Amino acid sequence: MSTQRLPMTVVGGYLGAGKTTLVNHVLRSTDERIAVIVNDFGEISIDEDLIVAADSDKLTLANGCICCTLADGFAAALMQIRSAGTLPQRLLIEASGVADPNQIAAYGHTPGLRLDAVVVMADAEQVRRQANDRWVADTVRMQLAAADLLVVNKIDLLDDSKEADDLCDWLAGLSPGAAVVRASRAAVPIDVLLGPGSASDAADGRERPAPDAAAAPGWHTVEDLFESQTVVLDVPVPMLVIEALLADLPDGVARLKGLIQAAPPTSADDTNAADAANAAAYLIEAVGKRTSMTPHATDPTQPPPRWAISLISNKDSLPPTWLAERLVRRG
């Protein structure tokens, strides 16, 4: 079943933007079993407390999965991961600092995998210079354009929120369709990076703040950057409503995820009336403008799942009832 495909997240961005910091942050903040692929070990520095064993060609991570390299190609890396004992729930690939993230993302079409998102990191202080650099301007702009989720990292190094707003607007122009989010120390909430519901139980669904986040001025602390809304859906939703929702997500939406029952129209004349008898379960997801809707296999021996859609957006970018209104609106 297609829902069983392993989600793959690509982390790209120019040198020094915080890719490795983000990888460490993800490993630290979720209970998901994540296997990591890096371009080469010369570039990787997984925090020591996240590693339980190191071999010449791979690291064993605290989550039981491995971190290996693209030294012998993607197929070999995948084989290494699959034969490592602990089967991962997600693949995280850190691209090299000059790589085109889209080229790495192409591996997400390998049978058994599903590309979840291309996350591109930008260094808030350096990205304007880099995007106009004599040598790497085109490389940096290509990377930014590839993002589904553009993380404007080190935002705390900017002078004020006006500067941050201007930068994010400018980056949004270079990265059409991407959700632009802000972070310092790459501390993007895990629900934003991997989808709602991905955070560690130990963290009680809340992001562990970056070590010095408390010291940072209020306008860019994690709590001030995002908000979420959830709508519970006890009855099947018309398929067309879901399609319309996914087709037209506003810029502020960073992540959306839902497990729903969607129903075809009862007749060609009344497309808003759902034919509940023929409803089917779907997993819907969105990051930036990348959306997917895949059939979801329910296990009849288990209690039914909680049918709901959750959305995370940049703070103050949407009315708190936006999602509910979209779902109840007809026509």
Pair 27, 63: CB distance under 8 Å: yes
- Cβ 111 to other proteins, closest distance in Å? 6
Residue 142 binds other proteins, judged by CB under 8 A = yes
Name the residue nearer to other proteins (CB basis): 70 or 92: 70
- Cβ 190 to other proteins, closest distance in Å? 27
Distance from C-alpha of 171 to C-alpha of 215, rounded to nearest angstrom: 26
Distance from C-alpha of 6 to C-alpha of 245, rounded to nearest angstrom: 25
Q: What is the DSSP letter of 106?
A: G
Residue 70 binds other proteins, judged by CB under 8 A = yes
Residue 15 binds other proteins, judged by CB under 8 A = yes
Residue 98 binds other proteins, judged by CB under 8 A = yes
| Inter-axis angle of helices 137-145 and 161-174, nearest 10 | 90
Residue 107 binds other proteins, judged by CB under 8 A = yes
Distance from C-alpha of 107 to C-alpha of 8, rounded to nearest angstrom: 9
- Cβ 138 to other proteins, closest distance in Å? 5
Q: Which residues of 99-117 are buried (b: 16+ CB within 10 A; e: fewer)?
A: bbbbebbebbebeebbbbb
Residues 182-221 that bind other proteins (CB under 8 A): none
Residue 147 binds other proteins, judged by CB under 8 A = no
Residue 20 binds other proteins, judged by CB under 8 A = no
| CA distances to 49, 125, 281, 311 from 286, in Å | 32, 28, 17, 9
Residue 106 binds other proteins, judged by CB under 8 A = yes
Residue 91 binds other proteins, judged by CB under 8 A = no
Residues that bind other proteins (CB under 8 A): 14-15, 39-42, 56-57, 69-76, 97-98, 100, 102-104, 106-107, 109-111, 135-136, 138-139, 142
